[in-house]
Amino acid sequence: MRPRAFAALCAAVALALVALAQAAGAVADATARERLSRGDITVFYRPADARPAARILEVAVSRGSSVAHSAGLADLGPVTIYVASTGDEFRVLTYGGVPDWGAGCAFPDRGVIVLRNPITAPDPLHMEDVVVHEIGHIAAGRVLSGVPVPRWFHEGIAMTLAGEWRLPRSSVLAGASASGGLIPLDELAVAFPAGAADAMLAYSESFYAVRFLMEEAGPATPAEVLFGIAAAASFEKGVEALSGRTLQVFERDALVSFRGRFGWGVFLSRWNVMFVVVALLLLAGGAARLARSRRLLREWELEESGRSDGAYRPARRSDSDWS
C-alpha cells in the first residue's frame, strides 16, 4: 500500500473511532438523564431542565390525543421525547440534521422526538406549538406506515394535524405569490432551504399544498388523505387517487391556486395590508403638504424682504393658491 493511501486509511479509521466514541458517549450520557412518564409518553431530561420537561410532558399528554384522532388513530401510542440542554447536545441527538433556527425534530419510525430546551430555543414562546407539531409527525408517520412522502407533505400534514397557522405565515405566502417568488413544490421534495426566511415560505407553501389536496379530494379530512396515501402504498398513486391528477400536475396546480388565493388583489384586500397602505399614503400626502407649506413660507419671507427693500416681486399664482 502506498504511504499516501495508508495515511488516508488511518485518518478514516481515526475519524470512525472518534464518531463511535461520540456516539457511545451520547448513549451513556442519555442513560444518566432523569425521566418523567405519563401513559405512553416519556420525557428524558437533565436535572436542571425539570421544569420545562414537566411542561413539555403536560402539552404532549393534553394535546397528543387530539392530534392522533385528527390523523385517524384511536390513540397516539408510545412516544419518547428527549430535551436537549445545549445546542451541541441537540445536534448530537438529531445527527446534525436540523438548521440553527430549528427547535425540534421527530423520528416517526422510532417514535422519538428531540426538542431544544425552551430556554435555548430560537422562539421560546412558541415551544408548545413545536411539541404539537412534532407529535403530528409521529401520528402521520404511524398512519403512513413507511410510505415515503415528500418533505413538503411531511411538514404540511404535521402543521394541519397540529392546527398550526399564524397570520405572519399567511402574509409571507401572500407576498411571495404577489411578487412571483414562490418555490416550486418539487424543489421541496427532499429538503427545505437553510435560510430562515425561505424556510418560512416553504412551510407556508407546504401547509396550503396539503389544504389544496384536501379540497381537491372531496373536501377530505387529514385522516382521509393519510389513509388514502397509505392504502395506495405510494405517495404518487395516492395523490392521483385523491385529486385525479398526477403528482407533477398536482404540484403545478397547487402553485396556481396559491397565486389565485394570494395574488396582488387578495394581498391588498387584507385589512392589515390596506391599513398599512392607507397609512403610508396619508404620510406621503402629509409630507408633500408640509414640503409645499415650507416652500410657500420661504417665498413669503422673500416677498417681505423685497417690500422692505422697495423691490416687490409677486409670487407665482400657481404656487400661491391653496388647492
pLDDT digits (tens, 9 = 90+) for 62-113: 999 999 999 999 999 999 999 999 889 999 999 888 877 788 999 999 999 9
Q: Which residue has the cell 398599512?
A: 276
- Per-residue pLDDT band for 233 (boundaries 50, 70, 90) equals very high
pLDDT at residue 212 greater than cutoff 50: yes
Domain-embedded: residue 178: yes
pLDDT at residue 315 greater than cutoff 80: no
Same domain (yes/no): 161, 141: yes
Note the pLDDT of residue 11: 42
Same domain (yes/no): 309, 190: no
Same domain (yes/no): 84, 134: yes
Average pLDDT for the chain: 79
Domain-embedded: residue 26: no
pLDDT at residue 142 greater than cutoff 70: yes
Helix (H), strand (E), coil (C) string for the chain: CCHHHHHHHHHHHHHHHHHHHHHHHHHHHHHCCEEEEECCEEEEECHHHHHHHHHHHHHHHHHHHHHHHHCCCCCCCCEEEEEECCHHHHHHHCCCCCCCCCCEEEECCCCEEEEECCCCCCCHHHHHHHHHHHHHHHHHHHHHCCCCCCHHHHHHHHHHHHCCCCHHHHHHHHHHHHHCCCCCHHHHCCCCCCCHHHHHHHHHHHHHHHHHHHHHCCCCCHHHHHHHHHHHCCHHHHHHHHHCCCHHHHHHHHHHHHHHHCCHHHHHHCHHHHHHHHHHHHHHHHHHHHHHHHHHHHHHHHHHHHHHHCCCCCCCHHHHCCC
pLDDT at residue 288 greater than cutoff 70: no
pLDDT at residue 119 greater than cutoff 80: no
Residue 73 domain boundaries? 34-267
Quote the percentage of the chain above a pLDDT of 90.
51
Distance CA 232, CA 227 (A): 8
Task: List C-alpha distances in Å: 201 to 198, 211, 247.
Answer: 5, 15, 21
Domain count for the chain: 2
Domain-embedded: residue 27: no
Domain-embedded: residue 5: no
pLDDT at residue 22 greater than cutoff 60: no
Note the pLDDT of residue 96: 83
Same domain (yes/no): 260, 287: no
pLDDT at residue 32 greater than cutoff 50: yes
Same domain (yes/no): 136, 280: no
Mean pLDDT of 165-173: 68
Query: What residues have CB less than 8 Å from 242, skipping those under 6 apart?
Result: 213, 216, 217, 220, 225, 228, 229
